[in-house]
Amino acid sequence: MLKTISLRSRIIIAMIFLVVIAFILIAVVTIYQYSEQNREYHAERMERKEEQIKQSIDLTLQKTTYPVTTENLPYIFKDEIYEIALVQNINFNIYDLEGQLLKSSRPKFEVDSISRCIEAEILNELGSNPSKRIVEQKTAAGFKYQASYTFITDNKFKPIGILNLPYFEDSSFNDRELKEILMRLTWAYMLVLLLAIVMAYFISLYITRPLQTISYRLNQTNIAKRNEKIIIKNPSEEIGKLIASYNAMIDELEVSAAKLAKGEREQAWREMAKQVAHEIKNPLTPMRLGVQSFERKFDPKDPDISEKVAEYSKTLIQQIDTLSNIASAFSNFAQMPAQQNETLNVVKIVKLAVDIFNENYIEFSSEEEEIISVLDRTQLIRVVTNLVKNAIQAVSLEEEPRVLVTVARDNGWVSIQISDNGIGIRPEVKDRIFEPKFTTKSSGMGLGLGMVKNIVETFKGTIDFESKPEKGTIFTVKFPIEPH
């Protein structure tokens, strides 16, 4: 799917992706940092509290009148334990060296096997090292808390009891602060995201504008016309290389197009010269034979000499007329007169062209009296007369010949149709019907339809036909209707 997304969209998506990833990373780092700070804070606070309680315990042991032994600890801290807990604002418990509870600062200490004695694993880990300290994670009433275990020693640093400090972490303040920071980060990154989208839009616009220009020029590139080079001020290195490659291609294309056009023109004129020479030879051969035969058989004393001379002259004149028609057809095709465009009523001009013909089976039809377009009057008449002549020749052998010429408006085009019920066009020659030298007739050069197609395309029109052998042909010419 990403392959179908435009470059501009990819840049915008990339910017959004980077901002979102940055926000997620910073949020994760912030949460982790707060967690670490919170853990370190509570660990340090727990150590401070524990140290303060131990100092208070040592002070109490120094002042007591009881012998400082494990058995006297409940008596030594009978009331002092509550004062110490009140001053330090934290509860604690005192166990004997066997792990049995001796005294707790909580009057209503919950009586259970866990709180009344220390687990064996803790005792084993403590061992007999007076400086040993153990911290474990515990759970009570669904709340997690930490519990530290350390020895209570006498003035000779001999362990006489175990101090247990349950420490409940109150992280509500830090949690609120973390939420506020994350909320501020969210709003800040929403603003950054909005700015990133705007910046990405303008950056992508700046980056893709030269590409759009290049794309447009590539779409407009046509070997049949002169193509303009791309000129962009201060392009990037990559775009500059692309523009240089395109401009070099345009230069090569112009050279190739010139060579191709020259070759095509030379080939076309060679083919035309061959065709003209062939067409001229056709009437010259019977003329030569006729002259030779007349020379052999000429007898001034022949009583029918006048009739024979007249017949010979008639044959010679027919061949000369054929040569003249060939020359005229070639001249009409090779030298198209300059266009003299004018705004004219196509319906009226086509009807005038049809009225030239005297055949009574030719009909003209139009649903509208006026369809305006900008065309050359003379060339429009040539198109119509050539197509009507072809239709007349196609129906020459029909018992009931019919030629219909219609003019109609067709979605912004003026459509001219010439239909006949003649012999039609064979399927195998349909693709060659507009070739300049091709003809299906026994005489002529086949330049008529080629000339018609040339005229129609000059005015940005189209010409097409439908034909069925022995049923007839319909030629359709369309010219664009100019707004007026």
Residue range 436-447, pLDDT digits in tens: 644 544 333 334
Give the number of domains in the chain: 3
Tell me: do 364 and 326 sit in the same domain.
no
The last residue of one of the domains, among 127, 154, 174, is 174
Q: What is the pLDDT of residue 320?
A: 76
Average pLDDT, the chain: 79
Q: Which of 121, 153, 174 is the last residue of a domain?
A: 174
Residue 473 located in a structural domain: yes
Would you say residue 184 lies in a domain? Answer: no
Residue 451 lies in a domain: yes
- pLDDT higher for 110 or 222? 222
**Which domain covers residue 355, as residue numbers?**
338-480
Q: Please report, rounded to a whole number, the percentage of residues in the chain having pLDDT higher than 90.
A: 13
Q: How confident is the model at residue 178 (pLDDT cuts 50, 70, 90)?
A: confident
Q: How many residues in total does the chain contain?
A: 484
Alpha helices, H only, 298-447? 305-334, 346-355, 377-394
Q: Are 324 and 358 part of one and the same domain?
A: no
From 245-249, 353-357, 413-417, the region with the lowest mean pLDDT: 245-249
Which pLDDT belongs to residue 416?
Answer: 95
Per the DSSP assignment, residues forming a β-bridge with 417 are 406, 476
Over residues 60-81, the pLDDT tens digits come to 888 888 898 888 888 888 888 8
Q: Tell me whether residue 433 is in a domain.
A: yes
State pTM to two decimals.
0.39
Kindly give, in sequence order, each residue whose CB lies less than 8 Å from that of residue 45, ignoring residues fewer than 6 positions away. 167
